Structure 1
Amino acid sequence: QNLIKLGYGNPDYIFAMAVRNGEHSAPALFACFALGIPVNTMDPSFQRDDLGHILAIAKPKLVFCDSETLGELAAACELTGVTPKVIVLGDKIAGYTHVEDLLVPTGIEDSFVPVNIETPNKQPAVLVCSSGTTGRSKAVSLSHSICIAHVANFFECHPSDILFAYSSLYWLSGLFTLLAGTLAGATRIITRAPFTVQRTLDIAKRYQLTVISLPPSQAWAIVNDPTATADAFRSLRLPLCGGSVVSASLKRAFETRFPGKVLEIAYGFSEVGYAVTTTREGFYRDGSVGFTRPGVEIKIVDENNCAVGIG
């Protein structure tokens, strides 16, 4: 309602976010969903060149931005000529609207009705940045239907689960942790602090994590740290790993270090907002990314779109 008051409630707009996992990031995202406004998620660690590249594609009317990222965002806006309204998260900065200004009571909260999404399979909800493995990152459009059917069902989530990932909403892992956890009624642990092994172990033990999502670099750091004991991950039922190549040696080292915990490898595909393959306990081949998920078909073609043979 406060965004509407500011004149930013038009579903034809595009917003962007470059924020860490603070307490205000999820409310901002869900406000955009309720208004039917697509959100382009960027990483707060982006420098001006990367921010400018994505801003030039999406041309957002409004950007939710961490205070620490504001300088790079301002420079990116100057480089591209894109001039969005900026809402700051984190420290308050003179001259900028702070996200807490949007949280003041309106007195008419009970009368708010979310926008009716008439064609959820066609209307974009999130514009995610692709991984960049085939060139510079692109803004991949995920519809409301995809966010519900794929992103929020990336893994089996239960109301009793306690989830954690360092990933910001820029990463598919950050997005599916938020959406899957919310739809299942699970608990999501958040931190704006960067990854350290000790911080991860402390969070795992203190909050009795049941699901954790890690990129290979973080998983290796944990495996190689002598302070990482099996007791720290005692409550885990599902350690997920993906985002880049997960070697057989990492999978085996993790499972040796933490007996009874199977490191599940997921191959995420930004264009469909889903893990198209996952490994299965008891069926693993070195270097494999697992089996295709239900409803997924894979075809390998050459540069002329012709099917290639085996091997």
Structure 2
Amino acid sequence: MEENIVKGEEIQRKIKLNLGQLTFEALKNYGDNVLQVDAETDEILTASLLLKQGIRLATFLKEHGVSHGDTISVISENRLEVCLIAVASFFVGATFAPLNPDYTGGELNHALNLSRPKIVFSTPSSLSKLTGITTNHTDIKLIVVFGSHESKKFLQGLDDIIRGAENDEIPTTFAIDSYDPKETVATILCSSGTTGKPKGVMITHENITSCIEILTKVFLQMKKEADSDSSDTITGITPFFHSFGFLAMYLHILRGKRLIVFKKFKPKIFLEAIAKYKLKALVVPPPLLVYLVRDPLVKKYDLSSVKEVYAGASPLNKETEMELKRRFKLRRAGQSYGMTETTWAVIATVNIEGKSGSVGVVLPGMMAKIIDENGRALGKNQRGELCLKGPMIMKGYVGNKEATMHCIDKDKWLHTGDIAYYDEDYHFYIVDRMKELIKYKGFQVAPSELEDLLVSHPSVLDAAVIGLPDEYAGELPMAFVVKKSDQEVTSEVLQEFVNKNVSPHKQLRGGIVFVKEIPRNQGGKILRRILKDSALKTGFKHKL
């Protein structure tokens, strides 16, 4: 056995079912358990209603030729309907591929080329964007819009499909194909790469059922320590098209627990929900935790029920963590580390004695190591690249074997591109990134994508994009631009140009600085550290 490999506690795999079979049995047993609540409308979704509607929608999918191996997509903000589409997809053995509703037409076009869905579900607000590009995607046979809609050849309303399902009888059995959980892709979630274009991450049924078993073990340990289950009700505010948000949502369905669903972050609604439902645990991105310790509005609400907070999707700084503990008298505050490629978190704070600044310990069933430039596994307190291995590691990138082989080596280790170390107690710390990705509020932004866009402007000769550190957002995309000698252009014009062509999280919120040249090494690689140091020294002002 190779030295310096950190292993989580051993776990015996017991789930042999695929997600369709597992979901059917779970929903049948949970009956009238409230699984989801719309934070704005108070509309509820029970397990029995979800099961009845799921069977209705699965039958509809089958009637329209959807079966094992096909893909279903949904472009939507967080809504109660999203879990219904996922459930129905798993019932028929189809792959579920959620999409960011903020995608521009070009970004959406690329994402659809990755997943190649047969049917796409859409909110009314995204319908015009979607219909505008469907002619480019012959795989799409039908669009189903949320709500009611006049049935047309390529367009139907979701409400019209499931209307009356609440009166259906729940069958004791339901025909679900016995497809192989290890090989069958359950979800395709988009993850940005250093090449700039998102890659489609293939997560199998076994990846997710492994995650369920691992986290169930963790939850039992945490419940034993706290003498209560703080995860009975949690917030569903991280986008469901994001791996962290989707798994949090679906895991709660399979556990029969309640999720408060937020379409978008609205301070008053967010705070009211915490107070109304007396939430004990918050599982949210770090920007919301920063908000809780900074915004004066927070003091107007009784949030005394909150005893535990967990950061996911991006790092939580030590100062915010300490302030949260002080302000809310928390018994546990921590964070976790994971990637879209790891299904969910694989390193996390699982005990009350978690260390401030650490992302936690390796979860049961998983392994981690820190390697140097030669691939040698390093010991304690030595910095190197974090590599991960275990049953939650993705199957690969859809249609991109080269990228898969670059990310996962011959021994099945996933190379994260993040620089980390672990201490004497095997607590891990993330200190830097080998990758050049910018993390804005948990979203990944590829600098090269923005650089290519900027250089496409007729007045721009060269460009470099960095992540400007920001306490609230994590990092803000900021550009350094070299103008062509015979051209004049303002930063406002370039800002508008970029904003029109990218999603909101990719916008240059850190601003634009004009320079004479972009610093590069002899191989032509941009020296981003020099640019970042320059930005920090000048105290460049930015806006969220």
Please say if 1:184 is aligned against 2:247: no
What is the deviation of 1:186? 0.9
Q: Which sits farther off after the overlay, 101-110 or 262-271?
A: 101-110
Classify 1:151/1:93 alpha carbon distance in 2 versus 1 (closer, same or farther; 3 Å).
farther
* 5+ long unaligned stretches in structure 1: none
What is the aligned partner in structure 1 of residue 347 from structure 2?
277
Aligned residues: 308
Shift of 1:93: 7.3
SS of 1:156's equivalent in the other structure is: helix
TM-score by length of 2: 0.51
Is 2:219 the counterpart of 1:156? yes
**1:25 pairs with 61, 64, 82, which one?**
82
The residue identity in structure 2 corresponding to 1:61 is: K
Which secondary structure state, in structure 2, belongs to the residue aligned with residue 283 of structure 1? coil
- The aligned amino acid for 2:208 is C
Paired with 1:160 and 1:243, the residues of 2 have a C-alpha distance of 18
CA contact (8 A) 2:308 2:330 kept: no
SS of the residue 1:121 aligns to:
coil
What is the rounded CA distance, in whole Å, between the counterparts of 2:133 and 2:293 in structure 1? 38
Q: Corresponding residue for 2:159?
A: 100
2:285 alignment partner, one of 198, 210, 215: 215
How far, CA to CA, are the matches of 2:212 and 2:106 in structure 1?
28
| Alignment match, 2:119 | 62
> 2:242 maps to what in 1?
171
Aligned equivalents of 1:90 and 1:240: distance in 2?
A: 34
Percent sequence identity is: 22
Of Structure 1 and Structure 2, which has the larger fraction of its residues in strand? 2
Supply the AA of the counterpart residue of 1:63. V
Q: Secondary structure at the match of 2:346?
A: strand
Matched to 1:101, the amino acid is: D
Partner amino acid, structure 2, of 1:163: I
Q: Residues of 2 paired with 1:241 and 1:163: CA distance?
A: 13
Q: CA deviation at 1:199?
A: 1.6
1:1-311 matches, cutoff 5 A:
1-5=59-63, 7-78=64-135, 83-89=140-146, 92=149, 95=152, 96-105=155-164, 110=171, 113-130=174-191, 132=193, 135-150=196-211, 154=215, 156=219, 161-192=232-263, 194-229=264-299, 232-279=302-349, 280-286=351-357, 288-301=358-371, 305-307=375-377, 310-311=382-383
Q: Determine the C-alpha separation between the residues in 1 that align with 2:195 and 2:324.
A: 30
Rounded Cα–Cα distance in structure 1 between residues aligned with 2:213 and 2:126 = 28
Query: Secondary structure at the residue paired with 2:186?
Result: strand
SS in 2 for 1:256: helix
- Residues 241 and 264, structure 1, Cα contact 8 Å, conserved in 2: yes
Tell me the CA shift for residue 108 of structure 1.
8.7
Shift of 1:53: 1.6
Q: Deviations over 1:64-92 (max 9, x none)?
A: 11211222223443566664421112575
How far residue 303 of structure 1 moved from its aligned partner, in angstroms, is: 6.3
Single out whichever of 20-29 and 60-69 deviates more from structure 2: 20-29
SS in 1 for 2:145: strand
Change (3 A) 1:177 1:114: farther
Give the 3-state SS of the residue equivalent to 2:98 in structure 1. Answer: strand
Question: What runs of 5+ residues in structure 2 fail to find an aligned partner?
Answer: 1-58, 221-228, 384-544
Q: 1:109 to 1:180 in 2, by over 3 A?
A: closer
> What root-mean-square deviation, in Å, do the aligned CA atoms of Structure 1 and Structure 2 show?
2.9
Q: 1:303 to 1:75 in 2, by over 3 A?
A: farther
What letter is aligned with 1:180?
A: L
SS in 2 for 1:116: coil
Q: Distance in 1 between matches of 2:123 and 2:177?
A: 30
